[in-house]
Amino acid sequence: MEERKQREIEYYDKKAEVSFGKERDFEGFHPQDLESFRFCYQWLRENCKDKIILDYGCGNGIHAGFLVKIRAKKVIGIDLSEKSLVLARQRIKGAEFIRMDCEKMEFPNDFFDIIFDGGTFSSLDLNLAWPELARVLKPDGCLIGIETFGHNVIANLKRKINKLTGKRTEWAENHIFQIKDLKEAEKYFNKIETHFFHPISCFVFPLLNLPGGKILLKFLEKVDKFFLYFSFLRKYAFKVVFIFHGKKII
């Protein structure tokens, strides 16, 4: 196995060992605390019933439980971190969790109605991931993802500090999702829809578990909307949600 993948596995195995409670992700807060994830979950709630869903890079299963609750026909989660998968299997009933390489999936062509990416892309080589994602998605299927965006100077500085302190791998720090990656995705998918979140409110994320942290977050998310009204500022969002509709036959 390539060294970069082994390092990612080791990083997330360690995260799994100190994982927070079952309703929290590896960063210590519930995804639905954030408007960006609430947007994703609402879209999934409206579109996933009776569908076959792939939780792509499922980690500890934080999103898979929601996918099961909204009555997807089948939920499959894949990841290379076995310790994360152990947590997912313990926590979530009604979903299947498989150790599998996201860049070289073992599913047949045109298998999934919907693929959900909850923030896996920075751990991958997208040049390898894009064709695989398109291959396993049905022709009229959708890929919805939420990724940290890589154009905010202050956030990028924090990521460099996180790498130095062991809170992020070197590969992930150097492969944060960017506009150029959205452009590359156009080669594989018919229509790309984007939504941007948290250019200002991201700076309160470390305070969410403190008294008043969530109240401050909601206030700053309203400030975000004013900031994001100006299209030229959207690239400085902290999170981008993208929905790829249909795939191109290549």
pLDDT at 24: 55
Q: How far is residue 145's CA from residue 36's CA, in Å, rounded to a whole number? A: 10
**Is the separation of the CB atoms in 79 and 55 below 8 Å?**
no
Q: pLDDT of 42-74, one tens digit each?
A: 999 999 999 999 999 999 999 999 999 998 999
Q: DSSP states of 51-87 as a string? A: -EEEEET-TTSTTHHHHHHTT-SEEEEEES-HHHHHH
Rounded mean pLDDT, 212-220: 94
pLDDT at 35: 96
Average pLDDT of the chain, as a whole number: 91
**Is the separation of the CB atoms in 144 and 168 below 8 Å?**
no
Query: Hunting for tokens 């313990």 — which residue is that?
Result: 90
Local confidence band at 26 (pLDDT 50, 70, 90 cut-offs):
very low
pLDDT at 21: 47
Structural domain boundaries enclosing 210? 3-247
Rounded mean pLDDT, 148-157: 88
Rounded mean pLDDT, 132-143: 97
Number of domains in the chain: 1
The yes-or-no verdict on residue 103 having pLDDT over 90 is yes
CA angle centred on 46, ends 40 and 51, rounded to 5°: 100
Local confidence band at 1 (pLDDT 50, 70, 90 cut-offs):
confident
Q: pLDDT of 153-169, one tens digit each?
A: 888 887 888 777 777 88
Q: pLDDT of 106-134, one tens digit each?
A: 999 999 999 999 999 999 999 999 999 99
Rounded mean pLDDT, 148-155: 89
The yes-or-no verdict on residue 25 having pLDDT over 70 is no
pLDDT at 89: 95
Q: Is 33 left (phi over 0), alpha (psi -120 to 50) or beta?
A: alpha
CATH (domain of 189): 3.40.50.150
Rounded mean pLDDT, 225-247: 96
pLDDT at 117: 98
